Amino acid sequence: MSGKDLVNIQKRALQEGLPYQTLMSSVLHKYITGHSKKRLPKLEETQKLFEHEV
């Protein structure tokens, strides 16, 4: 996880009044169980994102 992403998660967690770890766990749980409105990216999409960050 990039430092920028972590900072953004921490900011959002503060807005929600939650520890950032709890927010991260909640987001992951929603994706894994299919309760998120957004879909998980395909492996190829994820690899492209990481290629651009390096």
Instruction: Give yes or no for a contact between 23 and 9, defined as CB atoms under 8 angstroms apart.
Output: yes
The answer to whether residue 27 scores a pLDDT higher than 80 is yes
| Rounded CA separation 44/31 (Å) | 18
In order of 25, 37, 43, the CA distances from 47 in angstroms are 22, 22, 6
Q: Which residue has the higher pLDDT, 54 or 22?
A: 22
Structure tokens given for 29: 């749980």
Instruction: Give yes or no for a contact between 45 and 35, defined as CB atoms under 8 angstroms apart.
Output: no
pLDDT for 15: 92
pTM over 0.85: no
Q: Which amino acid is at 45?
A: E
The answer to whether residue 46 scores a pLDDT higher than 70 is no
* Average pLDDT of span 32-37: 76
The H or E element containing residue 10 is helix 3-16
